[in-house]
Structure 1
Amino acid sequence: HQYLSPTGDTYWVQRQNAATAASGTSVSINDTVPTTDRYNLTICEVLPGNGGGGTPPTPPTVSMTAPAPGATVTGRSTLWAVASDTHGVAGVQFLLDGSPLGAEVSAAPYSLTWDTTTVAGGTHTLAARARNTAGLTTTSSSVTVTVDNSGNPAVVGSWSSVVNLPTVAVDLILLKNSKVLFYEDGSSPTVWDYVNNTFTGVPTSADLFCSGHALLADGRVLVVGGYGESHSIGIASAEIFDPSQNSWSAVPDMAYKRWYPTATTLSDGRILVTAGWQTTEHSNAGIPEIYNPSTNTWTQLTSANNPFETYPFIYQLPDGRLVHVGNSEYATVTDILDLTTQTWSVVDPNVADGGSASMYLPGKIMKTGSAADSQFTGPSANTTYVLDMTQPTPAWQQTPSMAYPRSFCNVVTLPDDTVLVVGGETDKNGGNIANAVYAAELWSPQTQTWTTMASMHTPREYHGTALLLPDARVLVSGMGSDFGNVPDEKNAEFYSPPYLFKGARPTITQAPAQIGYGTNFFVATPDTASITQAVLIRTGAVTHFFDQNTRYVPVTFQPAAGGLTITAPADAKLAPPGEYMLFIVNATGVPSVAPIMQLQ
């Protein structure tokens, strides 16, 4: 800065220049060096041109050329605009409903691919805003379009035609040979080769209606409890189904009769059985029992008495404890079982509703809809809650709700880590198909939001089931079977999620049949460069809106010559021993067909 003396000082005019320049150019003014005791002081006055050497800048011109006004758009739609300016266009910004859409396009041709699935269906406005090198802008006239993705399978998925079954699939179990075991009672168990649509009856003497089940480490199926001779009487029997022989064998009875029990596979391969009605409704068997397949014996956990209601949602956590997060009929507090001390402790005393649940990532649980039963009345809920048991002080957090209220719905975790919900009813009673919800919905753990998917053909309410298959489709079946006034749905349909319509699928050409904890194993694939995810998903076993042993376990991998080197989970508490589907997923979210491998 120049500070002038209050008694006066000298201002030297060294040089005086006048210049004319066009907009966007610069002018240099040079000066001589002043004497050593004076400072350089430049005064610059800028005046607008008067036609004697410059043209006043004008805004650019711009217009939208696609899509056309009134067009209906779906999936990925390309937007186009033309823009011009005498001094040059610096960029074009597309606008959706008045807000920027994507990044500014800096060079012609001015286009942008718009993923219409990111907005709600219905009417939207598009426009383009051009900017010139002088910073002046012009916004085009808006174009009104209608977004309609209701029929685009790459957006909402697709349902197959309905396939007839010999009985109602109250229980639905994926076997290690990729076939499906389903049943309604003891006379109806059936093995279904759904690829060739063939059925093999495998009846047993026990009435398996509303039993519990778990897959053993070797791929056999343990079924516990069921229905007794008169109404609301459980049974203590337990049986094992061997899919390699299509045969049943009895194991020792449990100490307690159980109807509507839960069977949970533990990290050591044993099976924990909880709950179940004994002689009358709500006469709950409070003492858990553990079946040891190595010794073919049962052990009672007499100090862990907890009289849960039907089908408690119980998961083994990565730290070995077991968490109980409610059940299909009643919302409850959330508590933890320490098997070492046989003690329960409350995790979250707040009751969060939820009629179906899934551990969508290790230690992270989501539940949604309403816990309900035929004796209940009132509207279903559409609420969703998540619980992160990896946090120091876990507590349920409410997230955005489903579009549809639902009781009696099923949730299925998919290979791309999204969660599908299907079926259900808008009333808690469950006895009126007029209240059935046909549209599926898809939940994103990243955004914790729901997106409405395609609608199935058949209502699926109480006794509805849903199961992930190795080909990444979802098998949906069941409803009815001695419940209310709803019909017995002896049929099934397959849901193909949107990822099956987004390009070629990666393929696995070779994989091991068995893998060990913490070991590296090789999977051959010609698609190494495109793979971004690899995940193990335990083969499912579902009844009453709950897969009793669901597991989604991401695994690390490295590219290798001709395929991938994958590292198996290090700990059985993270992934209990048993049969798992291995999916590899590419950058566009498309999964492979999964081989089934035994983790041990």
Structure 2
Amino acid sequence: MPMRSQLAMYALGAVLVGCGGTLPIGDAGESMDSGPAAADSGARDAAGDSGSPGPDAGVGTGSIEGIVRDPGGAPIPDARLTLVTAAGFVDEDRTDSAGAYRFSGLGDGPYVVGASALRREFVEQSVDVDGPEVVDFVLGAETHRGRWSVVGSTEPERPAGTPSGTLMPDGRVIFCHDTQDAVIFDPSSGTTTMASASPSSQGCHMSTVLSDGRLIFVGGQAREEPAAFTEAVRTVKLYDPASNTWEVLPDLNEERWYPSLVRLGDERLLACGGGQRPDARRTANCELFDPATQRWTRTGSLAQPTEYSPSVLLLNGDVLTTWSPPQLYDVSAGTWRATGDFVQTDRGFPDHSDHSLVLLEDGTALAVGYEGSAGTAMTERYDPASGTWSLRDSPDVIRSQAEVVLLPDGRVLAAGGTLEQGSAPTNPFGEVATTDLYDPTTDAWRNLEPMAMPREYHALTLLVPDGRVITTSGTGDQACCPAPEASIEALEPPYLFRGPRPVIDSISGTDLGRGGTLTLGFSQTRAPTSVVLIGTAAVTHWMDGGVPRLVRLTPEVSGSQATITLPSTSVELPAGYYIAFLMVDDIPSEGRVVRVRP
């Protein structure tokens, strides 16, 4: 029978056992807002180091069964049911074609049953088992809005208009606006430290992480002040997080302020465009960096001069760059060619790009952001097969230069940006705190909880291994002054509020070769549905110089181990660092950072 208690089955388990009672929290059948920390607490105690049932399953005569339906009464097949106690995770089941599930062999006592299904809201019910119990569920559309919170600070630094943010192989993030006073933030502890200073200032650069673990900083300007954008440099540096030291590399062939930087499959880097002295006039030429020789060589030029241009390596091996016009780079030939233009072409070129670009797992590319007045869509999608763009759904608040992040469940986050159409609170500079989530499989946006404050395109927003998204900077006037405050916010996406997360208990290796295998030991699930490798990010403005990939692989499951075979080509799986997530439907484990060798 249902009972009026939450059992805080995840986070409060120890408290409940110690107090010998339960805490009143709401009626059975409510959607419990347990949170990600709660979902992992105490789980290993109950489930051990495997995906097998915990100690409360299979030892008694009690049972829980029921039907999971949608609001119209239709059964929902393959829904995930989870069973937890105050000690943690107990068991998991899936509904059959009739929407039915069953847990048996249960000892008497209080349990919480949770039900979830793709794109449907997670619901929990408490039940006190003293024999056969029936617990049915109705799952409506997913509505959870996630949760933002302040988790740290970049003090004593407050980056102005020149910063970058890069996820390092050890899971820490370096926020760097001039390579001389970079802040290193540890998302797991919320603490910051200062990196050593490089020999010279280098703001408005592009960065990425090479496969040897060192960060490369390319081009930029000679001073950090936004007004110094006319002082372009050819500087290239390496930062080694292990030794906290810098190394100056051979220069670029050209000065490049606001350069584009794209990773190729073999780890070469393509740098294009950027402003040059004495007046920041843009250039169209490009050059390639070879990590083996640490030298730059010239290659084909863009159709017209530009600066930071959103770019990705497509699954067909070409590089797509969109600013402007959209064009393709043939890596083998070293030449650029035209491709289809945006449906909405009034985007403000040659001013800054109004959009970011994300490569989706199906190989199409998504441009998010629009500042023109002739169109009404914030999103356009590029099909490499046809070379054409199509309009996609838009959120209620259309903005340009939002922060855009690809998530491990395949959805796309857009946060902040400059208000263009719609209604939302803004700061004095026209920026919003609005946060939205896009689902490519349904072509639909939905609104999430807003950030604590509006942020513009100098914000630094990226996914970290525990599944959260962190952001900092961008809270002042664009390219004017240091940010008025130094907060680091973190978003817990809706997937962190969907019951017990799967847990990676062991990993066969973190240094991977293409075509090889990777085995993950797991718990808190009986059957992982996929393993996702998502490239680590290196962001600035509307650019990401990280590994542009989300690779979803179906594992072979044996007991409490899941094994995947990695793609064999450098186009499918470019060299570099990835976060490996074990997935149950759209629910990710905490990730592990792995390296794919060149």
Q: Give the TM-score normalised by the residue count of structure 1.
A: 0.70
Give the match for residue 400 of structure 2: 407
1:62-77 residue pairs with structure 2 within 5 A? none
Any idea what the Cα deviations from partners look like across 1:117-174, whole Å, max 9, x if unmatched? 879xxxxxxxxxxxxxxxxxxxxxxxxxxx999xxxx710011125221224521100
Shift of 1:504: 0.8
Give the match for residue 223 of structure 1: 217
Residue among 522, 546, 549 paired with 2:543: 546
Say if 1:168 and 1:184, in contact at 8 Å, map to a contact too. no
Give the match for residue 489 of structure 2: 493
Say if 2:404 and 2:414, in contact at 8 Å, map to a contact too. yes
Give the match for residue 397 of structure 1: 390
Residue among 126, 140, 146 paired with 1:157: 146
CA distance in structure 2 between the partners assigned to 1:562 and 1:114 by the alignment: 22
Instruction: Say whether 1:363 aligns with 2:324.
Output: no
AA in 1 matched with 2:307: T
CA distance in structure 2 between the partners assigned to 1:304 and 1:310 by the alignment: 13
Give the match for residue 512 of structure 2: 515
Say if 1:226 and 1:258, in contact at 8 Å, map to a contact too. yes
1:348-387 residue pairs with structure 2 within 5 A? 348-350=340-342, 352=344, 354-361=354-361, 363-370=363-370, 383-387=378-382
Give the match for residue 453 of structure 2: 458
Instruction: Say whether 1:342 aligns with 2:334.
Output: yes
Say if 2:183 and 2:192, in contact at 8 Å, map to a contact too. no
Shift of 1:535: 0.8
Shift of 1:76: 9.3
Say if 1:75 and 1:116, in contact at 8 Å, map to a contact too. no
Instruction: Say whether 1:505 aligns with 2:473.
Output: no
Per the alignment, do residues 269 and 317 of structure 1 end up closer, same or farther by CA in structure 2, a change over 3 Å counting?
A: same
Say if 1:190 and 1:202, in contact at 8 Å, map to a contact too. no
Q: Which of 490-499 and 556-565 deviates more? A: 556-565
Give the match for residue 74 of structure 2: 102
1:167-316 residue pairs with structure 2 within 5 A? 167-168=157-158, 170-196=163-189, 197-228=191-222, 230-281=228-279, 283-301=281-299, 303-316=300-313
Shift of 1:200: 2.4
Per the alignment, do residues 116 and 504 of structure 1 end up closer, same or farther by CA in structure 2, a change over 3 Å counting?
A: closer
AA in 1 matched with 2:495: Y
AA in 2 matched with 1:192: F
CA distance in structure 2 between the partners assigned to 1:211 and 1:168 by the alignment: 17
The higher-RCO structure (CA 8 Å, 6+ apart) is 2
CA distance in structure 1 between the partners assigned to 2:267 and 2:397 by the alignment: 38
Any idea what the Cα deviations from partners look like across 1:212-270, whole Å, max 9, x if unmatched? 11221222111111113654221000001111112111000011000101221111111
Q: Secondary structure at the match of 2:282?
A: coil
Say if 1:379 and 1:427, in contact at 8 Å, map to a contact too. no
Per the alignment, do residues 551 and 206 of structure 1 end up closer, same or farther by CA in structure 2, a change over 3 Å counting?
A: farther
Q: Secondary structure at the match of 1:185?
A: coil
Shift of 1:388: 2.3
Q: Secondary structure at the match of 2:503?
A: coil
Q: Secondary structure at the match of 1:210?
A: coil
Q: Secondary structure at the match of 1:530?
A: coil
Q: How many residues align?
A: 462
Give the match for residue 416 of structure 1: 409
Instruction: Say whether 1:439 aligns with 2:431.
Output: no
1:11-22 residue pairs with structure 2 within 5 A? none
Per the alignment, do residues 162 and 525 of structure 1 end up closer, same or farther by CA in structure 2, a change over 3 Å counting?
A: closer
Q: Which of 564-573 and 181-190 deviates more? A: 181-190
1:66-145 residue pairs with structure 2 within 5 A? 100=72, 102=74
Shift of 1:584: 1.0
CA distance in structure 2 between the partners assigned to 1:216 and 1:265 by the alignment: 10
Q: CA RMSD in A?
A: 3.5
Shift of 1:397: 0.9
CA distance in structure 2 between the partners assigned to 1:205 and 1:244 by the alignment: 18
- Give unpaired runs (5+ residues) of structure 1: 1-70, 78-93, 108-112, 120-146, 327-331, 373-377
CA distance in structure 1 between the partners assigned to 2:496 and 2:321 by the alignment: 34
Per the alignment, do residues 233 and 225 of structure 1 end up closer, same or farther by CA in structure 2, a change over 3 Å counting?
A: same
CA distance in structure 2 between the partners assigned to 1:317 and 1:513 by the alignment: 25
AA in 1 matched with 2:153: N
Q: Secondary structure at the match of 2:166?
A: strand
Structure 1 consecutive aligned stretches of length 4 or more whose deviation exceeds 6 Å: 113-119, 378-381
Q: Which of 549-558 and 345-354 deviates more? A: 345-354
Shift of 1:547: 1.5
Say if 2:528 and 2:562, in contact at 8 Å, map to a contact too. no
Give the match for residue 572 of structure 1: 570
Q: Secondary structure at the match of 1:320?
A: coil
Per the alignment, do residues 337 and 95 of structure 1 end up closer, same or farther by CA in structure 2, a change over 3 Å counting?
A: closer
CA distance in structure 1 between the partners assigned to 2:492 and 2:284 by the alignment: 40
Say if 1:168 and 1:491, in contact at 8 Å, map to a contact too. no
**Structure with bigger gyration radius:** 1
Say if 1:499 and 1:590, in contact at 8 Å, map to a contact too. yes
Say if 1:209 and 1:226, in contact at 8 Å, map to a contact too. yes
Q: Secondary structure at the match of 1:499?
A: helix
Q: Which of 220-229 and 520-529 deviates more? A: 520-529
Q: Secondary structure at the match of 1:500?
A: helix
Say if 1:433 and 1:459, in contact at 8 Å, map to a contact too. no
Any idea what the Cα deviations from partners look like across 1:538-577, whole Å, max 9, x if unmatched? 1110100222233211123211243111111221112210
